[in-house]
Amino acid sequence: MSERFTSTVPDELADEIEEGLKELRTERDNLRRQLQAANSRMDDVQELVEYVEEERSLQPRREQRRDAPIWTRAKRWVLGWDRDDNETSDKSA
């Protein structure tokens, strides 16, 4: 437990202490703003990383669709891509 005490100091010293306290509070506020900005940038980067990872995971399927022969694309258009993919994976298992 801390004890409180009051001390009388010359006005000049009190002004210096108050000015120092004001500077420290200003610095603290600036550092908080910088931290908030850095956290915001990190969140933006994380969102971008997640987007890129998702796009990379979809790329092979897009290439497969693009490179498929016309009759396969027509069949998949009629029956649906997921159904055809499930049949293919069942045959390979």
Asked if pLDDT for residue 76 goes beyond 90, the answer is: no
Residues 32, 47: Cα–Cα separation, whole Å: 23
User: What is the b/e burial string over 3-19, where b = at least 16 CB atoms within 10 angstroms of the residue's CB?
Assistant: eeeeeeeeeeeeeeeee
Number of structural domains the chain divides into: 1
* pLDDT of the residue at 87: 47
Question: Is 29 contained in some domain?
Answer: yes
Say if CB 91 and CB 83 are below 8 A apart.
Answer: no
Question: Is 1 contained in some domain?
Answer: no
Each residue's pLDDT tens digit, 12-58: 999 999 999 999 999 999 999 999 999 999 999 999 999 999 999 99
Question: Is 3 contained in some domain?
Answer: no
Question: Is 4 contained in some domain?
Answer: no
Question: Is 5 contained in some domain?
Answer: no
Whole-prediction pTM = 0.53
Question: Is 68 contained in some domain?
Answer: yes
Question: Is 2 contained in some domain?
Answer: no
Provide the sign of the torsion angle of the four alpha carbons 6, 7, 10, 12, taken in this order: negative
Residues 6 or more apart from 81 whose CB is under 8 A from it? 65
Expressed as residue numbers, the domain containing 17 is: 11-92
